[in-house]
Structure 1
Amino acid sequence: MKKIAISIGDINGIGLEIALRAHEEISQLCKPTYCINKTMLGWGAAMLGLDVPEKFKTKECGEIFDIKPGIATKEAGEMSYDSFVTAIALAKSEKVSAIVTLPINKTSWNMAGIRYKGHTDALADLLGCKTIMMLGCDEMFVILYTHHIPLKAVSDKIHAKKLAKFLLDVATSVEEEEIAVLGLNPHAGDHGVIGDEESEITLAINKANELLGKERFIGPLVPDIAFSKSSRERYRYFVCMYHDQGLIPLKALYFEESINVTLNASIVRTSVDHGTAFDKAYKNADLSLKSYINAIKEAIK
């Protein structure tokens, strides 16, 4: 079985509980190593009223501090980042085949002085590559051209040359004959009546297809019908211009089972596609393990 490093996420959220409750099942799929120090693991498990499973292998990292369920803290931000960096180091040294990340809290990272908005942009910097964020499940994946930036900044990022390069990187990462590309504006700009960003998107699609020697990218699709049933019967992968354009339909259709996959990186990284759920942390709530288990399966695959 493959060895997988698990970044434990924000200790004040639901990540540790998911890791503990899913351990027996994922141990049938891989050999997990959890990036957390044993003291914090023991405290967290005790607060949850759970036993630490046998053969729960850990990689020591992070400081010792008081767990504060459901609260963003500097200490939790530092620990979740340390766990993440430790997992990356294990992958870079080829001690594991992949990493799977449990959810971080962006406010906690900010309080800890960590300048990244999330795992994907941190990976880009730490690995020195142009990472791509893809989220979804077997039924549908969305690939985000821009992700954690303000909506008002999206238009300025849409340039034919940069988008064409992005599409070519997608083409090398995803084995799919046809990949849909969404427009930005209502009605995909309506031939320039509602915006001209689609002209840049069209140029990028044409250039990427020309260099690939085939029509792999189709669009720009009108955003409000791109995820209709008939469209999803034809396409499984959708390139979206901004975060919510892809995430709203994905989470409406496949919230529990979808995952996050980093493309175009030098290591394999998958993640759950949900947050820290501070409102459910350490309350023994009915937590779904589907996203985490699917992320493990995708990392192995």
Structure 2
Amino acid sequence: MNQNKPVVGITMGDAAGVGPEIILKSLAYEEMYQISAPLVIGDSKILERAKSFVNSELVIKSVSAEELDQVSYQFGTVHCLDLNLLPSDLPVGQVSPDAGHAAFEYLRTAIELAKEQKIDAICTAPLNKEALQKGGHKYPGHTEILADLTDTEDFSMMLSAPNLKVIHVTTHVGIIDAVKMINPERVYHVIKLAHETLEKAGISSPKIAVCGINPHAGESGLFGYGEEEEKVIPGVEKAQAEGINAVGPLPADTLFFRAVRGDFDIVVAMYHDQGHGPVKVLGLDAGVNITVGLPIIRTSVDHGTAFDIAGKGIADEKSLMEAMRQAVELAPKK
């Protein structure tokens, strides 16, 4: 059985992508077993196939949900809660409704295990949004599934990279819809989530910088139609009134430089590309995606399924390894 290390459920994501490969490459490092008890939630036969892609000598062992309490997690053996949903000859690097449905089921199973406290955190390999929807699940991505299946209304996506953390007011919506969705209450709630998340991580009175929506944060009405004054400033002021160390709205074009320099502990971005772009400039293998506000811990790689290189064994495992470390750091302490 596990010796006081957090059990991290690693969902396999879209099996036609690089998920199975980066899981095996990550679990080939003994460090992952020194800090955690990793349990893959997916299809054992897909992992077996992926061994040939990455020249792995790891042993794949299938387990059932009933056996989880008896599993002894040891380096060299990868334990897989085998849902047995996919054929071993699933085409690699192609959109598949079957793979999309399976990715949903891996995550749904992980959420149930986390609710039942059979695992301590969830770490997700990437899924493909087109495959997910073709598989019958009309969600924009992982974050929205997690929120729906945990009945969470107040949540946000946080990206963590070296020297930069970013949390989002809106994520997977078009830019016009994003601007419509931004409002003072949402801005306030995301600032508060950032504050609470960083305080739990040991940062006292974290410094929070809030992006504007328009260039130069509107520059006193010169750009836009007063969105900052209407949608952002009241939310910042509400947070400040509660003693939260938040400033803004600030021009996004200089704000991220200042955050990387160390002026701020986290940046509140208004929409997807505003926050994702700066993080990904720092390196696709460096970013980790964390869903904050959930009743369970969830971290993820911050890259996609990479269908163009799937099956070639060249996908980089560094982001998944960092996501594992973050999951361990955030998991309830035993």
| TM-score w.r.t. length of structure 1 | 0.94
Shift of 1:72: 0.6
Does the 8 Å CA contact 2:8/2:39 hold for their aligned counterparts? yes
Partner of residue 266 from structure 2, selected from 212, 216, 237: 237
Report the equivalent of 2:70.
none
Report the equivalent of 1:43.
49
| Residue type at the aligned position of 1:30 | S
Report the equivalent of 1:276.
305
Distance, in Å, in 1 between the alignment partners of 2:255 and 2:212 is: 9
Partner of residue 189 from structure 1, selected from 214, 218, 242: 218
| Aligned 1:16-95 pairs, distance under 5 A | 16-25=20-29, 26-46=32-52, 49-53=55-59, 54-65=76-87, 66-95=89-118
Distance, in Å, in 2 between the alignment partners of 1:116 and 1:166 is: 21
Shift of 1:27: 2.0
Does the 8 Å CA contact 2:161/2:282 hold for their aligned counterparts? no
Report the equivalent of 2:69.
none
Report the equivalent of 1:213.
243
| Residue type at the aligned position of 2:278 | P
Report the equivalent of 2:68.
none
Does the 8 Å CA contact 1:259/1:270 hold for their aligned counterparts? yes
**SS of equivalent residue, structure 2 residue 40:** strand
Shift of 1:47: 5.5
Partner of residue 15 from structure 1, selected from 12, 19, 31: 19
Report the equivalent of 1:148.
172
Report the equivalent of 2:138.
115
Shift of 1:46: 4.2
Does the 8 Å CA contact 1:44/1:67 hold for their aligned counterparts? no
**SS of equivalent residue, structure 1 residue 57:** strand
1:133-178 Cα offsets, whole Å, 9 max, x none, are 0002241111011000011111111211232233223322222521
Does the 8 Å CA contact 2:20/2:46 hold for their aligned counterparts? no
Q: Which runs of 5+ in 1 are unaligned?
A: none
**SS of equivalent residue, structure 2 residue 139:** coil
Shift of 1:239: 0.3
Q: Which runs of 5+ in 2 are unaligned?
A: 60-75, 330-334
Does the 8 Å CA contact 2:163/2:262 hold for their aligned counterparts? no
Change (3 A) 1:138 1:221: same
Query: Does 1:247 pair with 2:271?
Result: no
| Residue type at the aligned position of 1:74 | P
Query: Does 1:294 pair with 2:322?
Result: yes
| Residue type at the aligned position of 2:12 | I
| Residue type at the aligned position of 2:318 | K
| Aligned 1:166-177 pairs, distance under 5 A | 166-175=190-199, 176=203, 177=206
| TM-score w.r.t. length of structure 2 | 0.85
Q: Percent of aligned pairs with the same residue? A: 33
Query: Does 1:105 pair with 2:132?
Result: no
Change (3 A) 1:179 1:62: farther
